[in-house]
Every structure is written in structure tokens, then in C-alpha cells.
Amino acid sequence: MRRALFPGSFDPLTLGHYDIINRGVHLFDEIIVAIGINAEKKYMFSLEERMQFVKEAFKSQPRVKVSTYEGMTVDYCKEIDAGFILRGLRNPADFEFEKAIAHTNRKLTGIETVFLLTASKTSFISSSIVRDVIRNNGNYSILVPDSVRVR
């Protein structure tokens, strides 16, 4: 089975994330959307809310699962037998950052990282931009899946 881990904080899930997951389903037998837990980070949405955003967005896609993890992403990959890490790239800065992590992960564990370029219509969206729009009472509904709009 080709299982990929799509890690992130998903605070909140965006249309960019949604697009990468939907496209990744055609490449892998299963995608585990893994919400990382970092005690040092201040989240806008609770872990339960973030999990629900993903579950609701992909409720009709049985090959997408949701989980949480702490620690190194590659350790969690080994724990759940995921041979791939799926990542989306929005711009050259994302690539340079993700490339170093991918090389390190492959050197440490042999786990491959698969990069998908974000769709041009979602390449400007980031969770931090969405949080800013929400904080300032802006219309964030065009940046997130319906599952997040219920807030």
C-alpha cells in the first residue's frame, strides 16, 4: 500500500491544503492528514476543531484519514508505515525550506517526500493569512473549504 503522510498544523485547513490532498489521493492509496501538536505554538483553533475541519471536508473520501502526532514527522511515518511525505509548494521560498527537510528525512530514514505545486488559484493562501483575515473580521470564506466556514 502506498501511504502518504500530509503533515501540518492546519490552523485552519485552507483551500490550498484541500487541493493538495484531493490531488494526492490520485497518487497514493491512502493519505493520512497528520495534525502536529506543538506545545510551544499558539493556535487559533483547538485540536478538536482542526481535526473536525479535515474530517468534514473529506467525509466522502475514504482514502483520507486524520490523525495527530507529536515529535518528528519521520518517526510518525515509521510508526504508521507511511513511505511518503506529501507537501505542497506555493513559491520558491517554500521549495528551499522543504528541500532541506526532505533531504534530511531521506538521509535519516529513507522516507521520500513528494512535492505538489499548489494550483495557481490557491497559491497565495496560507493559514496565517486566513487567521489574519478572521481576526480582522474579513470574509475568509473564499479561502477555506466549507467545513471551516461553519465557525
Give the pLDDT of residue 41. 87
The pairing of beta strand 84-89 with beta strand 3-8: parallel
Q: What is the CATH number of the domain that holds 121?
A: 3.40.50.620
For range 3-27, the mean pLDDT? 97
Q: Which domain holds residue 54?
A: 3-149
Q: What is the pLDDT of residues 51-100, one digit of tens each?
A: 999 999 999 999 999 999 999 999 999 999 999 999 999 988 889 999 99
Residue 142 has pLDDT above 90, yes or no: yes
For 11, counting Cβ atoms within 10 Å of its Cβ (0-12 exposed, 13-18 middle, 19+ buried), the class is buried
Catalytic positions, please? 17, 41, 90, 127
- pLDDT classification of 150: cutoffs 50, 70, 90: low
Total domain count, the chain: 1
Q: How far is residue 20 from each of residues 89, 106, 115, measured CA to CA in Å?
A: 9, 21, 9
Q: What is the pLDDT of residues 16-63, one digit of tens each?
A: 999 999 999 999 999 999 999 987 889 999 999 999 999 999 999 999
Give the pLDDT of residue 56. 97
Q: How far apart are CA 150 and CA 3, in angstroms?
A: 30
pTM of the model: 0.94
Give the pLDDT of residue 44. 95
